[in-house]
Amino acid sequence: MSLVQMQLRPAHADAHADLVPRTVDDAMEAAGPQVCDDMTVEVALAVMAGSRADHLLICDEDGLCTGLITREQFRAIRDSAAYTDRLRLRDVLGDRGPFASPMTTMAEAEHAMRYRRLDALPVVAEQGSALGVLVLAR
């Protein structure tokens, strides 16, 4: 038998919880491995394998988050005819983003992720540094 610890909350706390929507800050995971956008795809793959992560956050030389790359995206890059072992992450990222703010509501973030078919979304501070990652449950 296992013990379950419960805490009683005042009745008004439940009513208040329904009025305040959950934000990305409540659900995001730690940022995890971050790599610089001037790194080659090969080296980034090695970092991903070594960290056993499903994604890497990519930052520029100033430490600002420029995007996120997943194992599936790496596979597509390596399978393309344009792939070489000198290909850099910044060459395959394209546009910056998308990103979420820690204050974005979970409903907004989930909608955006499903619309864009994203499994993970970087969460960035106002100045652009990575704070964490929001990952959709499967």
Q: What is the pLDDT of residues 88-102, one digit of tens each?
A: 998 888 767 788 999
For the sheet containing 34-36, what is the strand order?
34-36, 55-59, 65-70
What is the C-alpha to C-alpha distance for residues 81 and 20, in angstroms, rounded to an integer? 49
Residue 47 predicted with pLDDT over 90: yes
Query: To 10 degrees, what angle do helices 41-51 and 71-79 make?
Result: 150
* Nearest residue to 100 via CA among 74, 59, 68: 68
Specify the DSSP class assigned to residue 88.
Answer: B
What fold is seen in the domain 22-135?
A: CBS-domain (3.10.580)
* pTM, to two decimals: 0.76
pLDDT of residue 98: 84
- Where are the chain's structural domains? 22-135
The confidence score (pLDDT) of residue 124 equals 93
Planar angle of CA 118, 51, 30, nearest 5 degrees: 55
Q: What is the mean pLDDT of the chain?
A: 83
